Amino acid sequence: MDIKVRVWRQAGPAADGKMVTYDVKDISADASFLEMLDVLNEQLILDGDDPIAFDHDCREGICGMCSMVIDGTPHGPERATTTCQLHMRHFNDGDVIDVEPWRAAAFPVVKDLVVDRTAFDRIIQAGGYISAPTGTAPDAHAMPIPKKDADAAFEAATCIGCGACVAACPNGSAMLFTAAKVAHLGLMPQGQPERDTRVLDMLQAQDDAGFGGCTNMGECTTVCPKGIPLTLIGRLNSDYRKAVTRKS
């Protein structure tokens, strides 16, 4: 299949960016979107041009690195799919595909499609840990946990920190990410000692990073490749109110 790709090109954080159109020919319908970009970059290198910078790592839908907006949607048109797991068969021969970086004040562009997402790291550093002693793995039945709590914790823990929720939110909010990270620890007995300080510190780090406020638009959960539910934001707000009350 032959397509046209309009890609955001930006030499650096302080440079002006623009959309540049490229023709990509003879792409297999079974190729992934990132493999298509690999082919395009090989073509650019052979032509003596600067290849397109984009983030990637595992290419298995696990690491959350493949952050780009495809035709206006983070990770592209397929729901519950990361960019690296999106295949060209979901597009048509002759399509014109727009590819842009995440657009959020807290995710400044580094180059082309690469953005700086260390703001997420600072949120995790503020409270994404537990103080329970480490050592050999305990027996599975040593600490009984209600199945509904275990299931909810596992669901929250599937967040890969890609930032699609921020890119889709009209406010640039990171509430779904923070809610998932707070919930998957807060639902477990091991996470109880820091439960109050965790929610207060992580939300403060979120605000300090420049993320916007949540107005429950729901775009975040729609584009989340792991389907993190919007209900976790409600849980986060509840935990925050309780933490503030206990602190005062």
For residue range 165-205, list pLDDT tens digits in order. Answer: 999 999 999 999 999 999 999 999 989 999 999 999 999 99
Per the prediction, the chain carries an average pLDDT of 95
Task: Express as a percent the part of the chain with pLDDT over 70.
Answer: 99
Examine the pLDDT at 134 and tell me if it is beyond 90: no
Residues 121 and 91 in one domain: no
151-164 mean pLDDT: 96
Residues 100 and 129 in one domain: no
Domain count, the chain: 2
43-72 mean pLDDT: 97
Examine the pLDDT at 131 and tell me if it is beyond 70: yes
> What is the pLDDT, as a whole number, of residue 12?
96
Task: Express as a percent the part of the chain with pLDDT over 90.
Answer: 92
Residues 92 and 20 in one domain: yes
Give the CATH number, domain containing residue 24: 3.10.20.30
Question: Structural domain of residue 44, as residue ranges?
Answer: 3-110
pLDDT grade, residue 80 (50/70/90)? very high
Give the CATH number, domain containing residue 234: 1.10.1060.10
148-162 mean pLDDT: 95
131-147 mean pLDDT: 79
Q: Of 31-40, 127-136, 153-162, where does mean pLDDT reach its minimum?
A: 127-136
Burial class (CB in 10 A: 0-12, 13-18, 19+), 42: exposed
Residues 194 and 214 in one domain: yes
Examine the pLDDT at 113 and tell me if it is beyond 80: yes
Examine the pLDDT at 132 and tell me if it is beyond 90: no
Residues 129 and 85 in one domain: no
11-28 mean pLDDT: 97
pLDDT grade, residue 22 (50/70/90)? very high
Residues 65 and 167 in one domain: no
CA distance 2 to 146: 53
40-66 mean pLDDT: 97
Residues 94 and 137 in one domain: no
74-98 mean pLDDT: 97
